[in-house]
Amino acid sequence: MEIAPIIVNIVIAISVMFLSYLYKKYYPKKINGNMGYRTRRSMISEKNWLLANGYYSRLVFNYTRLLPVVQVVLYMVFGPYIALAGFLALWIVVLFWGIYKTERVLKREGG
């Protein structure tokens, strides 16, 4: 059994969870074009900016916490390489799902 793929899986899972936690805790409070949840709708007003960044960061963090469970199942069934690919693919889906959900909230509440 190779140890390197296992270590890579663990490091990536921890890194993704850590980054989503940091974004949840320290999302940008002022509108800027460099970082944060930047869409046309989110940058209309300060209210929309705070709503979008707060909502998106919480949503992504909550979904990201579930991904290591999926990764372990994929690892046990398919092995380390499929587990890593599946984890990264699901994380991309979570990011885009978060954009979709956040835009719906902004449309409904932010105007």
Domain annotation covers residue 22? no
- Whether the per-residue pLDDT at 87 is higher than 80: the answer is yes
> CB-based contacts of 106: which residues, under 8 Å, 6+ apart?
39, 41, 42, 48, 51, 52
> What is d(CA 97, CA 69) in angstroms, rounded to the nearest whole number?
19
Answer whether residue 102 is part of any domain. Answer: yes
pLDDT at 68: 86
Counted domains in the chain: 1
- Answer yes or no: is 25 within a domain: no
Q: What is the pLDDT of residue 89?
A: 94
| Helices first, then strands: H and E counts in the chain | 3, 0
Which structural domain range is residue 95 located in? Answer: 43-111
Q: Which tens digit of pLDDT belongs to each residue from 29-62?
A: 999 889 999 999 999 999 999 999 999 999 999 9
Please report whether residue 48 resides in a domain: yes
Most confident segment among 4-8, 64-68, 94-98? 94-98
For range 14-40, the mean pLDDT: 91
Whether 1 is in a domain gets the answer: no
Distance CA(89)–CA(38), nearest Å, equals: 22
Structure confidence at residue 111 as a pLDDT band (50, 70, 90): low
In this structure, is residue 5 part of a structural domain?
A: no
Question: Residue range 93-100: average pLDDT?
Answer: 96
Helix (H, G, I), strand (E, B) or coil at 33: coil
The pTM is what?
Answer: 0.86
Tokens of 21: 């936690």
Is residue 84 situated within a structural domain?
Answer: yes
